[in-house]
Amino acid sequence: MPAGHPRDAVISGIGLVTALADGIEAHHRLLSAAERPRPLTDAERFAPYPVHPLVEIDLSTQIPKRGDIRQMEDWQRYGTYAAGLALDDAGLAGNEAVLSEAGLIVAAGGGERDPEVDAAILEGLAGAKDPGAFINERLMNDLRPTLFLAQLSNLLAGNISIVHKVIGSSRTFMGEELCGAMALDIAARQIRADQGDVFLVGGSYNAPRPDMLLYLALGGYLWTGPTVPPLWQRGGQEGGIVCGSMGAFLVLEARAHAAARGARVYARLDEVIARRGRRDDAQAFEAYALELAARLGAALGDEPAGLLSGASGARRALETERRMIEKLAAERPLPVRGLATMIGHGLEAQMPASVALAAIALKNKLFYRPFDDDGFEQAADAAPASIAVTGWGHWNGEAVAVLRAED
C-alpha cells in the first residue's frame, strides 16, 4: 500500500504509564532530558529479585466508579487507566458514535492468583496421605469462585468496554511478548483491509506478582541483586529480566478516518512481523535472526532511523538480538536504545509500550538520549524518519515493527 493511502494504519492516540512516568508528556520530557532519569525500583520486597513498580497514579481520573476499581486486579486497573488516557489523547473519550464501532484488541496474561492459598496448599501437600484427594478438597473449599473469573485474560477487555464504552469487536491475545505484537499486527491488517476504522490496542502488566516472579525465577530468567544495571550490561548472570509494571494502549486509525475528524497523527505503523523461531537449534536460529535483520533493514530504507529494543534482558535471547542489531548497524547509522533500562520488562505489554515510545519520538522529531554509557547506545546524529521496534521474547517469540514519521 503506497504511503499516504487512505487505509494506512496511523497512531492517533497514546496512553502510557510505567515505572518511569505517567502520560506521554512526562515520558517525552524525562527521556529527552540531559540528565538521565531513574525509574522506580523496589529491591527489597521480593529480594533478591528487584522489580520496577508503577509510578503513583490517580485511577479515579480514568476509572471514576470506586466499585469498578475495587473489583479489578492491579493489572486490569493499569490497563483500563492507560486505555482511558489513549482515548482522551485521541479525542475519542465519550464519543459513543465512534466507540460503538471501534475494535478492541488486548494483549494480556492470566489474572493474579491468591498466593496465600497456593502456599497453604503446597505446604499441606507435602504431608498428605492421598495427594489427589487433598488437592481436590482444598481447591473446592479454599478457592473463591470469583477468583477463577478474575484470572480470565479477557477481563481487561471487559473492564475497558464497561468503563470506556468501547463496544465494537473484542479480541484478547495470550502468549507473553509475542501477543503484544500480534495485537498490533491484526489491528493494522484489519484497517488496511477496510475491516474497521478505529482500534484500541494494548496491554498491561503488574510486576510485583509473586506467581509470575516464581515462574520466571524457576526458569532462571530474573536478574538478582540490590542494584539494577542497564539492559546491555546484564551479561554477568544467566537471567537479566527486571519486571516492570506498565499499561500501554494505542488508538490505531485509518488515515482517512483520522483526517475526517481532524485528529492528530503521531506516526504511521508500516509493518509488524510476529514470528516464533526455533531456539532449540542455535545455528538455524542465528540464520533466522539475520533474515529478520535483512527484512528490517529493507523496511527502514535509507533515511535516518533509530531502533527501540524491547528486549527482556534474558541472556540468550539478548545476545541473539544484539547480533541482529549489530548486523543492521554495520550497514547504516542506527542508534539503539534498550527500553528495559528505563521501564523494565512488561511481557505482554512490552511491545505496545515500545511502539508508543517510538511514536512519541517521531512526533517530536527526536530520538531519545542514550540510556547507558557502555558504548553500544550511540547518540543520534539526526531526527529519525523511521524507528524500528523489537520485541524479543524471553524464551520464545520474536517481533519487529517499523513506524514512520508523518511530517
| Exposure b/e, 250-279, CB count within 10 A at least 16 = b | bbbbbbebbeeeebebbbbbbbbbbeebeb
Beta bridge partners of residue 309, listed in sequence order: 338, 390
pLDDT of res. 152: 75
CA 96, CA 235: separation in Å to the nearest integer? 50
User: Going along 178-294, which residue ranges are E strands?
Assistant: 198-205, 246-254, 267-275
User: pLDDT tens digits for the chain (407 residues)?
Assistant: 566 899 999 999 999 999 999 999 999 999 999 899 999 999 999 999 999 999 999 999 999 999 999 989 899 999 999 999 999 999 999 999 999 999 999 999 877 667 777 778 888 888 888 989 998 888 777 766 555 555 678 889 999 999 999 999 999 999 899 999 999 999 999 999 999 999 999 999 999 999 899 999 999 999 999 999 999 998 777 789 999 999 999 999 999 999 999 999 999 999 999 988 888 888 888 888 888 888 898 899 889 999 999 999 999 889 989 999 998 888 888 999 999 999 999 999 999 999 999 999 999 999 999 999 888 999 998 999 999 999 989 999 999 999 999 87
pLDDT for the residue numbered 145: 56
Query: Among candidates 397, 388, 380, 249, which has minimal Cα distance to 312?
Result: 397
- pLDDT value at residue 146: 53
Give the per-residue pLDDT at 147: 55
Handedness of CA 196, 246, 115, 130 (dihedral sign): positive
One-letter amino acid at 367 equals F
Amino acid 120: pLDDT:
82
How many other C-beta atoms lie within 10 A of the C-beta of residue 100? 11
Grid cell locating 369: 538520549
Please tell me what DSSP assigns to residue 221.
Answer: -
Element (H or E) spanning 106, and its range?
strand 103-107
DSSP 47: T
List all residues 6 or more positions away from 204 whose beta carbon is below 8 Å from its beta carbon.
Answer: 75, 76, 78, 79, 82, 108, 156, 246, 247, 248, 346, 348, 349
Which residues have a Cβ under 8 Å from the Cβ of 115 and sit 6 or more positions away? 210, 211
